[in-house]
Structure 1
Amino acid sequence: MRLLKFLPLLFFGFLQAQEEVVQSVYFEFDKYTLDEKQAAGVIDYIRKTDSTRIESIQIFGYCDDRGKEAYNFKLSNNRANTIKEKLMENGIKNKIIVTIEGKGRILIDDDLVENLPEVRSKNRRVDVVINLKKLPEIDIPGFFTSIQKKHVVGDHIYLENLLFERGSSKLTFKAKTQLDKLAYMLQKYKALQFEIQGHVCCTPPNQREAIDRDTKKRQLSKNRAQSVYKYLTFKKIVKTRMTFKGYGNTVPLGKGSEYDRRVELVITSI
């Protein structure tokens, strides 16, 4: 009986069960040999899996429910070894193949199964189980109102009192008080590097930047960032840890114009 000539010789079945991926390779009745198409498919499957995450490979062979039990165990074991040999021929290291096992036949209830020939054909298979190492946790940048014990690149430090008067880049008393606290924390966490980002509000629609009333130049957001840079330098924060840049009106907070007259820090290295 050659039902499989009507089916694909290689069937890809992916099961995402935590960190385990399974591919099933199907065989013809009473056979344990692979043709070239099947062999290429198995190897391609392994190669497309991230090799840095492969912890181990398990290979399990199965048969349908026909035939004697001892014969089916031998056949299922031969199928499993066929896959193992093909993997090793193509550079898969033996040490990561931790299991090669024939499971024998898969029993089914003839009275309860519809399309019995198809079910049997799917039981004539080898499951290649790839056990994957867990992906490292990815830290997503966040928004904070003070320096934290642990930061990731991209974290924003928004200081609530680091606000400016309209048209001004001069630090207020409240701003300096908060920068004093910030400088203390930056001395504590000396590995942190950051960009000082200046912002403005209330500019005409066709003007990205605002005019600094003291310098009369349209670089208010940059001047605000530079004021903070200079103050932190005065508080003994090493210059090489800091850069500054003006962002004009491009990053509004949406909380009101007074909150857009601000400077915030963005972590660039930890």
Structure 2
Amino acid sequence: MRFNILLLSLFFSIWAFAQEEEVYSIYFDFDKYNLKPEQAEGVVAFIQKLDTTKVETIEIFGYCDDRGKDEYNYTLSTNRANTVKNKLLEKGIKNKIIITLEGKGRVLIDEDLLDNVPEVRSKNRRVDVVINYKPAVVNDLKIPGVYNKIPKEPVVGDRIYLEKIQFDRGSSKLNIKAKKELDKVVRDLLRNKKISFEIQGHVCCTPSYQTEAIDRGTKKRELSSNRAKAVYKYLIAKKIPKIRMTHKGYGNSQPLGKGSFFDRRVELLITKVDN
């Protein structure tokens, strides 16, 4: 029963990637790559829950436990990944959105440091299906006071959703694309010198007992805070006065209620408008 619950449940990784994509895992028996009936039912249930109109890409990764030779385990993990891919295709997922299919081979463990080696090995005999969603379009939200750019007549409490400011998975470092988008934000802020604002970082999909996600750079649960700080530092470097800005991470405490892909975000909350 416990195995079936684990198998059929849609869950989010508790590691650094948790906040960036939805992950579904299928666990296999030792030395097997075929899907048992209950496993196939779990995959079907997972597909039925997906809003495929919002899915941008899918990645499939197969794994094995640490026993056996490398070549054999790479073949086995690849066969597991292909088995799951074929089931997804059978249930209507388009092949063109499956951009990665990879057998990772065995997952090494240190038996001396683990309390329950058999359980750890059973969880390493798996395939992870990673769902990457399309970028959020804030205009689709239709939430009063939430905009995709600074409104013509801003008021305190308005929120500017920086929908194109995307970070790499589990990272608080600004990539090239994010910096280019922030340059556009800088131009807007320089034209609207009367507003002050708080830079807010948000994440989604952390476990229910955690409100914040892990920053893989620091290995600490401070991802939303670090992302907000990264934007803050970039704006300072672009000559936006410090006196106009504060920054804060809110973890997953302020979901928009429109789906997890909208909750991975950075916002500017207008806190003051000078006359």
TM-score by length of 1: 0.49
TM-score by length of 2: 0.48
